[in-house]
Chains A and B, each alone.
Chain A
Amino acid sequence: MGVEIRVEGLTKSFGRQVIWQDVSLSIPAGEISVLLGPSGTGKSVFLKSLVGLLKPDRGHIYIGDRDLPYLPEHQLYETRKLFGVLFQDGALFGSMNLFDNIAFPLREHTRKTEAEVRRIVLEKMDLVGLMGAEGKLPGEISGGMKKRAGLARALVLDPEILLVDEPDSGLDPVRTAFLNQVFIDLSAQLDCTFLIVTHDINTARTVPDNIGLLYQRHLAMFGPREMLLSSEEPVVRQFLNASKVGPIGMSEEKDASELEAEAKMGLDSGKLPPIPPQQMPSNGLVRRGQHAPGAWCAAHGVTPPPGSFIDELGRNWVDEWPRYVASMQAGQAAGGAGVTPPGGPGFPPPAPGPGGAAY
């Protein structure tokens, strides 16, 4: 069962350079959240603050009921055991082979026998598709393999919170899609709280339950996926559609003359694209954190853009959802899946996620 992360009024600066200020958000337990933002807006700094590697200037980070920045050292180390963190390039220990890297947390924090350690490590390596690479050193493998090994290491202690820093950087789109499916399946299996920092718009549109956007030293918006994907807020809309039209320029912010020129040329961001259906677990489990498609829009009286929630087989997931849940629950009782989730049957999925073709 995941833990809620509540951030209140968080401010961080390096010297005179303010990274972000007054960031307040609450990452719901057991749900997948994605944090977006242009390069250099301090997403990684935010992630590092959440695990207490960097101390914020002001504000609170509540992990359950513990206020992380103000914990004494031994409690901080205790609290960190709740976390699994996947760093940008895996951050594997260069002097150990992959097996020892992944076994490291188990050997440090548990009293498991070597046979048990071996069983768990191989299970996690299988999960991330690294079987047979146990004896390799981190220097001998590719960036994508390092990332997957880092994920396996983050998973061995069955964390309550998983923080993932740019899972897609340096990874090909197929592997990114696989990794996204792994995240979804893990979320269904472990029920842990996910926070993924990414630049990949496809990931941001199809994977999470919640999306947050950091822009210009502030949290521009944080909320359910449907809220941001149907938002007309210029920054949110520009970023989530990877468009050149909007307030974000090459150097973070376009100035007035640029925006004027844009308006003169008649450039306009046009209609919002449809909201793609969310990627679903392929392991026959139902994610407890998952919201019903269209629920947020219906509750807030927002009409989703036309064509939303329709997968590549033409099924409308707003209608499909109750049947899917019922069949999954029946399937869980009987030991098999009923309706095929979007993204294809079974793991690995044949295509890079639902709606992937649209972008």
Chain B
Amino acid sequence: MTNESITPGGIGGSSPSGRSTSRRARRAGGGGGGAAALRKVSDGAVNVAVKEPGRFFALCLDTFRAIFKWPFQWREFIEQSWFIVSVTVIPTMLVAIPFGGILSLQVGGLIRQLGAQSYTGATAVVAIVREASPLVTSLLVAGAAGSAMCADIGSRKIREEIDAMEVLGINPLHRLVVPRMFACAFIALFLNGLVSVVGLIGGYVFNVMLQNGTPGAYLASFNAIAQLPDLLQAEFKAFVFGITAGLVAAYKGLNAKGGPKGVGDAVNQTVVITFMLLFVENFIISTLYFQFVPSKGM
């Protein structure tokens, strides 16, 4: 690879031959230029459409197999869980409070216009418990936990630590990826609960203090609409989000190449891909939930 970047012409010692070499290279490049460019584009398209997802699924299957290998890495799991908590808890709370507030403001305003002010509590259920908390969780899981995890695994990869681990006869999927993936999912469950609670408190405070709602109406309508499956589906979403974020981060991290910049690129891609996947998953799970779980009658 290094050879390509050093041309003999650039060294200066033997200029006639250097020129002839570069001329030769130019001729070779000019002849198949169009075809080569086309091939490059089609290669890129195939790569994006088929190869990358294929490799990602292969990693998912391998990781799934590695889950059942003994012994489970408890120590790594606990350390990683703690690490994820430390990077997500404060941002989660700080995001959840204004989120709850803004939802109350928007939806509460709309509902007041429709003349159903006593039902603001009910909207909080739909907005916060069912949708907002999994969404906020996904933002934090992808943005904070996933990126940190990818950076960690990616830097290990380019320092050849992963190779060294394999050579020492240790499967990095079992040793590093499985505990991280579960730690991510495990913490996502709690984050989701945290967002629900903080968001509801924020919404309540907003509604009661700033929008002149009554506490009784808020709680009564909340109870009228809320049902346990709402919380369960949100927790299920959070779990799936955690697993997805962990797997994408591991995939991108394990395939990082090209030095520190490669790790940066991998982290960037991790965040983007995880966001997209989580929003799609969120949509699918919500759709299925509305299909299969009947809403509570009033």
Contact = CB atoms under 8 A, between A and B. Distances in A.
Contact of B14 (A39, A80, A104, A261): A261
Interface in A31-68: 38-40, 48, 51, 53
Interface in A212-270: 249-252, 254-255, 257-258, 261
Given A40-B2, A80-B167, A255-B20, A91 B8 contact: no
A91 B169 contact: no
A311 B247 CA distance: 60
A38 B1 CA distance: 12
B169 A94 contact: no
Interface string B20-57: 11000000000000000000000000000000000000
Nearest to A82: B169
A250 B161 CA distance: 32
B168 A94 contact: no
A83 B167 contact: yes
Given A87-B163, A93-B161, A251 B7 contact: yes
A94 B170 contact: no
Nearest to A73: B171
Contacts of A51: 166-167
Given A87-B163, A89-B159, A40 B168 contact: no
B258 interface: no
A85 interface: yes
Interface string B145-179: 00000000001100111011111111100000000
B288 interface: no
A220 to B, nearest CB: 16
Contacts of B169: 77-78, 80-81, 105, 108-109
B158 to A, nearest CB: 10
Contacts of B14: 258, 261
B3 interface: yes
Interface in A247-303: 249-252, 254-255, 257-258, 261
A163 B185 CA distance: 39
Nearest to B171: A77
Contacts of A92: 161, 164
Contacts of B21: 251, 255
Contacts of A53: 163, 166-167
Given A94-B159, A255-B17, A108 B164 contact: no
Contacts, number: 80
Contact of B3 (A39, A80, A109, A150): A39
B17 A87 contact: no
A85 B166 CA distance: 11
Contacts of A105: 168-169
A88 interface: yes
Nearest to A87: B160
B115 interface: no
Interface string B98-128: 0000000000000000000000000000000
A251 B3 contact: yes
Q: Give the residue among B13, B14, B16, B171 with the most A Cβ atoms within 10 A.
A: B14
B6 interface: yes
Given A255-B17, A257-B16, A250 B163 contact: no
Contacts of A85: 164, 167
A48 B163 contact: yes
A40 B161 CA distance: 22
B20 A257 contact: yes
Nearest to A109: B169
A252 B7 CA distance: 10
Contacts of B3: 38-40, 251-252
A87 B8 contact: no
A62 B161 CA distance: 26
Contact of B1 (A40, A81, A255, A261): A40
A238 B16 CA distance: 23
B166 A94 contact: no
A94 B165 CA distance: 12
A206 B155 CA distance: 37
A80 B168 CA distance: 7
A77 B16 CA distance: 53
Contact of A108 (B156, B160, B170): B170
B11 interface: yes
Q: Give the residue among B7, B163, B165, B169 with the most A Cβ atoms within 10 A.
A: B169
A339 to B, nearest CB: 39
A70 to B, nearest CB: 17
Nearest to A262: B14
A261 B13 CA distance: 12
A76 to B, nearest CB: 9
Contacts of B17: 254-255, 257-258, 261
Nearest to A54: B163
B35 to A, nearest CB: 13
A258 B18 CA distance: 9
A94 B161 contact: yes
Nearest to A249: B8
A165 B167 CA distance: 13
B15 to A, nearest CB: 11
B163 A91 contact: yes
23 contacts: A40-B1, A40-B2, A53-B163, A53-B167, A77-B170, A80-B167, A83-B167, A87-B160, A87-B163, A88-B160, A93-B161, A94-B159, A105-B168, A108-B168, A108-B169, A249-B8, A250-B6, A250-B11, A251-B3, A257-B17, A257-B20, A261-B14, A261-B16
What 5 A-B pairs come out closest when comparing CB atoms?
A: A91-B164, A91-B160, A258-B17, A85-B167, A257-B17
Interface of A: 38-40, 48, 51, 53, 73, 77-78, 80-81, 83, 85, 87-89, 91-94, 104-105, 108-109, 150, 153, 249-252, 254-255, 257-258, 261
Given A91-B163, A250-B13, 7 more contacts: A40-B1, A80-B167, A93-B161, A105-B169, A255-B20, A255-B21, A261-B14
